[in-house]
Chains A and B, each alone.
Chain A
Amino acid sequence: MEELKKELKEKIIDALNLDDMSIGDIKDSDFLFGDGLGLDSIDALELIVILDKDYGIKLTDPKEGKKIFESIETMAQYISEHRTK
């Protein structure tokens, strides 16, 4: 799970162009949206693509995304349970 969380942080920094951040800047429990990392609606769509492309998970209801993408912790949990890649 620790490896997955590290991997997720790297992917997020890369895909979302968080140029001035490093893995150490993102805590597992930080909120990704709103007051935490401040990601927006386009970023949410990007995370959905990552889920599909890298882990083989197709989110049929984008609204599910809110809970899944709450933090690195919740993302890692969801991915480890549902990944097909």
Chain B
Amino acid sequence: MKNKITHYCNIKNGKISLNGKLVFENQDEPTFLKFIKSAYKTLKIDYPKFYKMDPLCKLSLVASTILLDSMESIDSEMALLLCNRSSCIDIDKEHQSSISYENGGYASPATFVYTLPNIALGEISIKYKLKSENSFFIFENFNPKFMIDYSESLINLGKSKSVLCGWLEVNQDEYNAFVFIVEPKEGEELSVEKLNKLL
């Protein structure tokens, strides 16, 4: 059976939608951190670790929770394929600031631990107990062709039965999350055109 996009979630411009339907909106919060916190609380995500996370992990946790909780069942071998442009730039800047001479040069372990973009994969894996293939890629722009190519190769080579793909970009108060499931089941066409449309 051909691989399709079976579920997807978008977070941008103060809105969160699941499979194209609006599930949360808040245009009153000017900063990303306040917006994502309001989404976390309103959608009752209830995962206290959230508060410790850096902006990238917060965005990816909310997006993947909405997506995964909407599925009937989650395959524990579901692969994770996340991408963005800015890596974990916000927390990197915070760490850089904390080690500056003006601040006395003290690094914070709670900050440093998040200075790798693949920690976002780790947080999802831990929450949903996904012992699976996982990788974080960086591209200048959303790269649907790569995501299709690599997710399909994981499925066709038998390394996983489904893949959670995501473009998770957050840089100060600009954010755009688009996460989707690729699997050989009924769904939207898995194509570059379709993915660009759904972004």
Q: Which residue numbers of A lie inside 8 Å of B, CB to CB?
A: 15-20, 38, 42-43, 45-46, 49, 52-53
Residue of B nearest to A44 (CB): B109
Q: Do A17 and B106 have beta carbons less than 8 Å apart? A: no
Residue of A nearest to B53 (CB): A17
Q: Do B51 and A19 have beta carbons less than 8 Å apart? A: yes
Taking a contact as CB atoms closer than 8 A, the residue among B48, B52, B106, B113 that contacts A49 in the complex is B106
> For residue B109, which residues in chain A have a CB less than 8 angstroms away from its CB?
42, 45-46, 49
Which of A16, A18, A20, A42 neighbours the largest number of chain B CB atoms within 10 Å of its CB?
A42
Residue of A nearest to B52 (CB): A17
Q: Do A53 and B48 have beta carbons less than 8 Å apart? A: no
> For residue B106, which residues in chain A have a CB less than 8 angstroms away from its CB?
49, 52-53
Residue B70, interface by CB 8 Å: no
Residue B158, interface by CB 8 Å: no
> For residue A52, which residues in chain B have a CB less than 8 angstroms away from its CB?
106
Q: Do A46 and B51 have beta carbons less than 8 Å apart? A: no
A-B contact count (CB 8 A): 29
Q: Do A42 and B113 have beta carbons less than 8 Å apart? A: yes
Q: Do A20 and B51 have beta carbons less than 8 Å apart? A: yes
Kindly state the separation between the CA atoms of A45 and B107 in the bound complex, as whole angstroms: 11
Residue B192, interface by CB 8 Å: no
> For residue B48, which residues in chain A have a CB less than 8 angstroms away from its CB?
20, 38
Kindly state the separation between the CA atoms of A53 and B110 in the bound complex, as whole angstroms: 15
Kindly state the separation between the CA atoms of A49 and B104 in the bound complex, as whole angstroms: 12
Residue of B nearest to A20 (CB): B51
Kindly state the separation between the CA atoms of A38 and B48 in the bound complex, as whole angstroms: 10
Taking a contact as CB atoms closer than 8 A, the residue among B104, B108, B113 that contacts A15 in the complex is B108
Which of B52, B104, B107, B110 neighbours the largest number of chain A CB atoms within 10 Å of its CB?
B110
> For residue A38, which residues in chain B have a CB less than 8 angstroms away from its CB?
48
Kindly state the separation between the CA atoms of A29 and B184 in the bound complex, as whole angstroms: 55
Tell me, rounded to whole Å, the shortest Cβ–Cβ distance linking B73 to chain A: 29
If A16-B52, A17-B52, A18-B51 touch, does A46 touch B110 (CB 8 Å cutoff)? yes
Residue of A nearest to B50 (CB): A19
Tell me, rounded to whole Å, the shortest Cβ–Cβ distance linking A49 to chain B: 6
Taking a contact as CB atoms closer than 8 A, the residue among A18, A19, A46 that contacts B108 in the complex is A46
